[in-house]
Amino acid sequence: MVRKEGNRLIREFDGEKLWIESWGKNALRVRATGLAAIDESRDWALLPAATAAATPAGAAAAAGAGAGAAAAECKIEIAGERATIANGGITASLRNGRLSFFNKAGEPLLKERWLNRDEGNEFYSAINLGGREFRPILGGNHRLTVRFAAAPDEKIFGMGQYQDGNLDLKGCVLELAHKNSQASVPFLISNKGYGLLWNNPAIGRVSFAKNVTEWTAESTPQLDYWIVAGDAPAEIEESYAAATGTVPMMPDYAMGFWQCKLRYKTQDELLSVAREYKKRDLPLSVIVSDFFHWPMQGEWKFDPKYWPDPDAMVSELKSMGVELMVSVWPTVDKRSENFKEMLEHGYLVRAERGVRTTMDFMGNTVFFDPTHPGARDFVWKAAKRNYYDKGIKIFWLDEAEPEYSVYDYDNYRYHLGTDLEVGNIYPVMYAKTFYDGMEKAGQKNILNLLRCAWAGSQRYGALVWSGDIDATFESLRTQFAAGLNMAIAGIPWWTTDIGGFGGGDPDDPAYRECLIRWFQYGAFCPVFRLHGFRVAKDPGFKLIHDDGSDSDAVFSGGPNEVWSYGEEAYGILSRYLFLRERLKPYIARLMREAHERGTPPMRPLFYDFPKDGTAWEIEDEYMFGSDLLVAPVMRAGERERRVYLPEGARWTEVWTGTSYGGGTTTTVAAPLDRIPLFAKDDAVLPILE
């Protein structure tokens, strides 16, 4: 039976309930279940339908106020088992339960792939494979598979952060799960003119194969996805931002330079580094106190032995114009002061079998459960008392996947459900823990650094970095693709550990070259942050615990300040520090666009030049805002590189002033101190001193 209820088209047949409804501009939401009823209580990444119909900025405001524009009007027509639902530029056709989607010109965008003998199917097949498959799991949920017909010439971008170096994801199989350096953010844009959000936080996978696109959720009560049509990638991205929320406006200090290393051992050491930056008259906006500044995991406070006066430290840093960011982990050591109380209240992730130890790094620890509102409140109150009330207004929410020592997703349970069913929501709720607390305290323009994200994380001020990556040119190339796909996936605030995290000898000339090239690239990322676990020349640092025990395994790494890499490197790096400072007014404009419309500051060339077919093929250049093309050097020994300049504009090489026409490829010099940069048309940017 097919019927209409308001803006919703409903089909019920043989135990399946299928809903298609308008949800924002040019967009439809599709839900289905084989259970008794569709659960309307969880919108996951999506804002309410009325809010999603507003502009991105209006949607963000409406989401905070609990109100919004009226739901988008749609047109529904029903003729027996055939029906259509149209919302602006997108139409869904329902024929004997099979779904197909079309743009405003009537051209096909996406259709389910059904291979069976059912009457009314487009063609007869003895294979008997459905487009929507609910395979029952003992206990109630289903293993869900959704199949779409594949277009061999399709290009697919977004989906979050994967460490495989692919920008175009066609032909890829992606795990829909989080791990250290892997963030599943399941929104994509296709060159066919649509975007799709897999609005399901279950663990699963997606295959963008030549013969079929197949989405799988290992355990879920229902299907849930959102599809939008648009004439250009920017239109699709902005509709997605309206439907899921935009980032806050980035605070001014965050647009400058961030100094970080693994790790500053004491308050005196951290202050000495900040003082040295000021002594050298170098720009510095943020400095970081990394992990194990606390007495024990799960005690969110400074260890007074090594950080004796945090109030004075924060005060001195602020007098220099520097913000202090502190590392927060979700791990709770079983010996910590908070473990017993959190256990009693159900604030910790549970194990279905075996010993409840979810991570065994530097102690047997259990992650706190941010899907539990009481747990969020407990952790925030500790952080507020011990950090926020001392003037610390930015947090590094590490281990946000969370990083299980063993990724047995079937062995963990949250307040909202099993890990298999809801596990990918963890980083969103972790970000929400601090965002809600900071907002309640009256803070505006909230930003926190996380190592993971899912769809919707952006509206909770999530700045994502790419995790514990290798300190090599190969790794730099991999992060390049990861960052652009995160941008397309709706996460506009993104960065890397400049120079890579693991390894890198400051005295090695080969590594110095890698660090310089990475630093140049980092100056044109949304956040400019130096971090890493460098090769150390000293044996480390011994931490003495309150109970008298000690550990010499709390490693600290070698020096990682801009003066740590020799005079030649120092001259180049300091030049880019000042370049970034001069660009801050331009960057502020980009951050305003991200806040108001969801426009990613860094994006592939096709985002700004969708009619240029070659722009869809370029995977080693990007736009940093609408006025600047960046072509980083990402291989050792390169001192020149070929650059494609999109058609539809004139381009000026920043360093030489040479002008080029669009739709051309040129080879430009790239000496060690220079990253190739091109200004579009008549844009004047303060890059040169």
| Digit-coded pLDDT (tens) for 448-470 | 999 999 999 999 999 999 999 99
Q: In which residue are the tokens 């961030």 written?
A: 258
Mark whether 582 and 627 lie in a shared domain.
Answer: no
CA distance 128 to 132: 12
Question: Does 685 reside within a domain?
Answer: no
The CATH number for 149's domain is 2.60.40.1760
Residues 279 and 347 both lie in one domain = yes
pLDDT of residue 129: 87
Is the separation of the CB atoms in 107 and 100 below 8 Å? no
Q: Can you tell me the distance from the alpha carbon of 326 to that of 317, in angstroms, rounded to the nearest whole number? A: 13
Looking at the structure, tell me whether residues 182 and 318 fall in a common domain: no
417 contacts: CB under 8 Å, gap ≥ 6: none
| Angle, helices 373-386/426-440, rounded to nearest 10 degrees | 50
How many folded domains does the chain comprise?
3
Check pLDDT > 70 for residue 137: yes
Structural domain contains residue 277: yes
Last residue of a domain, one of 597, 626, 658: 597
Question: Which pLDDT score is estimated for 551?
Answer: 46
Residues 320 and 364 in one domain: yes
Both 287 and 233 in one domain: the answer is no
Per-residue confidence band for 394, with pLDDT thresholds at 50, 70 and 90: very high
- What pTM value is reported for the model? 0.95
689, part of any domain: no
pLDDT at 560: 98
608 and 593 in a common domain: no
Percent of the chain with pLDDT over 70: 94
pLDDT tens digits, one per residue of 508-542: 999 999 999 999 999 999 999 999 999 987 655 45
Classify residue 512: in a domain, yes or no.
yes
Q: Is residue 202 part of a domain?
A: yes
**pLDDT reported for residue 510:** 98
Between 103-107, 115-119, 564-568, the lowest mean confidence (pLDDT) is in 115-119
Lowest mean pLDDT across 96-100, 176-180, 547-551:
547-551
Mark whether 167 and 34 lie in a shared domain: yes
Q: Look at 377-381, 459-463, 542-546 and tell me which has the smallest mean pLDDT.
A: 542-546
- pLDDT-based confidence at residue 187 (cuts at 50, 70, 90): very high
Point out the catalytic residue in the list 410, 436, 439, 468.
Answer: 468
Q: What is the pLDDT of residues 607-650, one digit of tens each?
A: 999 999 999 999 999 999 999 999 999 999 999 999 999 999 99
Tell me what the pLDDT averaged over the chain comes to: 94
Distances (CA, A) of 217 to 177, 182, 312, 362, 599: 10, 18, 50, 33, 29
Instruction: Note the pLDDT tens digit of each residue in 27-77.
Output: 999 999 999 999 999 999 999 998 887 767 655 555 544 333 334 579 999
| Position 689 confidence tier, pLDDT thresholds 50, 70, 90 | confident
> Residues 398, 497, 513, 593: which is the catalytic one?
398
Q: What is the mean pLDDT of residues 4-15?
A: 96
The answer to whether residue 168 is domain-embedded is: yes
Q: Are 194 and 324 found together in one domain?
A: no
Distance of CA 615 to the CA centre of its chain: 24
Check whether residue 590 and residue 608 sit in a common domain: no
pLDDT tier at 573 (50, 70, 90 boundaries)?
Answer: very high
Note the pLDDT of residue 538: 63
Active-site residue, selected from the candidate residues 401, 421, 561, 627: 401
- What is the C-alpha separation between 122 and 140, in angstroms, rounded? 33
Residue 389 designated active-site: no
User: What average pLDDT does range 304-313 have in this prediction?
Assistant: 97
Domain end call among 548, 572, 597: 597
Residue 361 falls inside a structural domain = yes
Whether 169 maps to a domain, the answer reads yes
Helices (H), 265-309: 267-279
Please give the residue range of the domain that contains residue 182. 2-244
Crossing angle of the two packed helices 509-522 and 473-488, in degrees rounded to 10: 10
pLDDT at 547 (0 to 100): 52
* Residue 30 and residue 20 in contact, taking contact as beta carbons nearer than 8 Å: yes
**Tens of pLDDT along 626-637?**
999 999 999 999
Question: What is the CA angle 517-634-650, rounded to 5?
Answer: 90
pLDDT beyond 80 at 121: no
Going by the DSSP 8-state scheme, the letter that residue 406 receives in this structure is S
DSSP 8-state class, residue 533: B
CA 162 distance to own-chain centroid:
11
Percent of the chain with pLDDT over 90: 90
Alpha helices in 259-349 (DSSP H): 267-279, 310-319, 339-345
Of the residues 189, 211, 244, the one at which a domain ends: 244
CA distance 142 to 156: 28
Residue 540 sits in the same domain as residue 614: no
**pLDDT (0 to 100) of residue 53:** 77
- Region 350-364: mean pLDDT is 95
**Alpha-carbon distances of 313 from 238, 275, 279, 392, rounded to whole Å:** 42, 12, 17, 10
If asked whether residues 641 and 663 sit together in one domain, one would say yes
Q: Which residue intervals of 162-259 are DSSP H helices?
A: 233-244
Active site residue 401: yes
Q: What are the CA-CA distances from residue 644 to residues 233, 334, 682 (Å)?
A: 20, 56, 18
Q: What is the CATH number of the domain that holds 629?
A: 2.60.40.1180
Tell me, yes or no, if 682 is annotated catalytic. Answer: no
Question: Are residues 452 and 328 both part of a single domain?
Answer: yes
CATH code where residue 425 lies: 3.20.20.80
Helix (H) or strand (E) holding 142: strand 142-149
